[in-house]
Structure 1
């Protein structure tokens, strides 16, 4: 794991770091529906009022080089409803490395740090969407594809899958993943 891997508490991101993280994310996903300014605003404000369990605070794992982020994985708490119960998962998103630094283990480092929170008992699962091209990367780290029907009961079309990528994946550590439909209770991430 890189020595410069840091945990960023998303409840208290400072503007310079928010701007550099938004720059990394915008460089990897330039066609995103979010502008640079919207990304900065989200990083500065979205999690300020988080009041859930202290261990499950929203965070990003970031590798810095000369003070600038070169790899990122966001992991935030998200309550989802499985048959018969609600569970707070670690919602993984924004996994990336600066394009000129790919293939150097940086993505592995930030994803392993995220998955470690399951192994440490902070979250029972890390849930995320992914494209098939990247599925082997996550499988090598212990994640697997799930076949639950995923929906958002709060959406205009509550039966539509709120995830847009090819597959839904989970890292469950040694935990049993629930069967049946899964209500994200909000938009995909």
Structure 2
């Protein structure tokens, strides 16, 4: 398996990984508007793209304090490779990119059943309300918010927490 940076990740490549599943992340019912990621990492297996994770620089507001961070999103693994370490491979590769960018912490949103998976990769839950922007104004994020230290001595990420901009 080859980990690669993807310059032109979009709907066609996502569809290749999703293999016909119209809602592979299982969050379409929430009706959220998501922000595009600026960095994309993929995994190729036998010439086919089988996994993706995206990231972008973001800002968090922890009370009155504004903190630079990295947002991780768009994690997707082809159905026949789930549970085989491919997701961990692509998530760790994106975390490396976020570290290289000098960002102190990473933040992601996930369904409750994925919290143990991300915990094994070093992510911990933010307990309490997290607010994100939507076109009609701020909303409480209905998904779990997790964070991970990317450098020594990162700021502690805690609620109440506001993400500047749309979720990712």
Same fold (TM over 0.5): yes
Give the structure 1 partner of residue 109 of structure 2: 129
Number of equivalent positions: 157
Q: Is the counterpart of residue 181 in structure 1 residue 160 in structure 2?
A: yes
Q: Deviations over 1:5-49 (max 9, x none)?
A: 01224xxx2xxx64542313554751375xxxxxxxx9xxx67xx
How much has 1:87 moved relative to structure 2?
2.3
Give the structure 2 partner of residue 8 of structure 1: 6
Give the structure 2 partner of residue 23 of structure 1: 15
Q: CA–CA distance in 1 between the matches of 2:53 and 2:114?
A: 15
Q: Which runs of 4+ in 1 moved over 6 A?
A: none
How much has 1:145 moved relative to structure 2?
0.5
Q: Secondary structure at the match of 1:126?
A: strand
Q: Identify which range, 80-89 or 97-106, moves more after superposition.
A: 80-89
Structure in which a larger fraction of residues adopt strand: 2
Report the TM-score, using the length of structure 2 for normalisation: 0.77
Q: CA–CA distance in 1 between the matches of 2:65 and 2:149?
A: 17
1:89 to 66, 69, 73: 69
Q: In the alignment, is the contact (CA less than 8 A) between 2:39 and 2:55 conserved in 1?
A: yes
Report the TM-score, using the length of structure 1 for normalisation: 0.69
Q: CA–CA distance in 2 between the matches of 1:100 and 1:76?
A: 28
State the structure with more CA Rg.
Answer: 1
Q: Identify which range, 77-86 or 135-144, moves more after superposition.
A: 77-86
Q: In the alignment, is the contact (CA less than 8 A) between 1:89 and 1:126 conserved in 2?
A: yes
Q: CA–CA distance in 2 between the matches of 1:29 and 1:131?
A: 17
Q: What is the root-mean-square deviation of aligned Cα atoms in Å?
A: 2.7
Q: Which has the higher contact order (CA 8 A, sep 6+)?
A: 2
In the TM superposition, what are the counterparts of 1:20-99 in structure 2 within 5 Å? Answer: 20-24=12-16, 26-27=18-19, 30-31=22-23, 58-99=38-79
How much has 1:149 moved relative to structure 2?
2.3
Q: Identify which range, 100-109 or 115-124, moves more after superposition.
A: 115-124
Unmatched runs of 5 consecutive residues or more in structure 2: 29-34
How much has 1:118 moved relative to structure 2?
5.1
